[in-house]
Amino acid sequence: MKKTMFAGAVGSLVAMTAGTALAAPPADWSKVPATDITLFYPGVSPMEWILKGTVHGGARSFKKGDTCGDCHSSETPAMGAKIVSGEKIEPTPIKGKPAAVPVKVQAAHDGDTLYLRFTWKQPKASGAAKMDDKNPMKIAFMLDAGKVELADQSGCWSSCHSDSRTMPGAADSKKKYVKDGSLAKGVFYDLVQWRSGEKKAYDGHVADARVMEGGKALASAEGKLDGDTWSVVFARKFAGGEGDIALQAGKTYNFGFAIHDDHAAGRFHHVSLGYSLGIGAKADITAGKL
């Protein structure tokens, strides 16, 4: 995976979680290495589709232990182009929706707090009807500590199922979930999201159902659109509460993220493949010590 240096100041940032103090991110993000990750439009590709060999050619390799990234890390733009056009696994294509969104991800920590910064160019609007009137853009990431089945291979995909809302024929009441999800047993994704219109962050989890609140680890989430470039910074404490994965220096975690652009909602987002995030440990994305 290509590593680059991304120059840019933090600037004036416009939102943080209510009732929390603003954590101090790196003063100069240009000194923090960046990882280039291209998000792509996934269409109707729930975990059930991933595992079905008659429709997904990589199912056999996946079942043998290969990750989604092993096969697809270099072809996400091409995959997104096929899907967004309706050529493959998208029954309701949206004209003008971008196939892929290149994002730079930077990570750092100070021994107590993890800082994540995402920067990308604002894609051109499709002109389609707004699914989420309140929020032109939402960005979220999820973490797993090795308890969610297949999360080490698929990133966030273990929470994506064919019976979840906005999937074809699914009930609108069915939220994201993970197989055998249980907070008590530690089988869950830690979920953090920032919404641009509401200028608000959410600290939740995905276990037997997605819950957008209850977490205590998120210290702040801040976003800014400077010209045509988004910059969003999360500050996430190592320790939290129920639904928060306890982070430790020297450890790695399964990681994935998504962007809902152009007032998108539900499955109509752009997503990453699965990656590893290391807290001072070698990984696809490594948070170095400040």
Residue pair 223/111 in contact (Cβ under 8 Å)? The answer is: no
What's the start-to-end Cα distance of the chain, in Å?
23
Residue 16: the pLDDT is: 39
Q: What is the residue range of 132's domain?
A: 3-289
Residue with token string 């270099």: 74
The H-assigned helical ranges of 176-217 are none
Q: 112 is written with which tokens? A: 């107590």
Residue pair 190/214 in contact (Cβ under 8 Å)? The answer is: no
pLDDT along the chain (290 residues), means of 10: 39 36 78 98 98 96 96 96 98 98 98 98 96 98 98 97 97 97 97 98 98 97 97 97 96 98 98 98 97
Strands (E), 150-289: 189-195, 200-206, 210-211, 218-226, 229-237, 252-260, 270-271, 275-279, 285-289
Residue 25: the pLDDT is: 87
Residue pair 109/162 in contact (Cβ under 8 Å)? The answer is: no
Residue 240: the pLDDT is: 93
Residue pair 268/138 in contact (Cβ under 8 Å)? The answer is: no
Query: What's the farthest any 2 CA atoms get from each other in the chain?
Result: 51
Neighbours of 221 (CB within 10 A): 27
Whole-prediction pTM: 0.92
Neighbours of 46 (CB within 10 A): 21
Domain count, the chain: 1
What is the domain-level CATH number for residue 267?
2.60.40.1190
Residue 154: the pLDDT is: 96
Q: How far apart are CA 93 and CA 86, in angstroms?
A: 5
Residue 155: the pLDDT is: 96
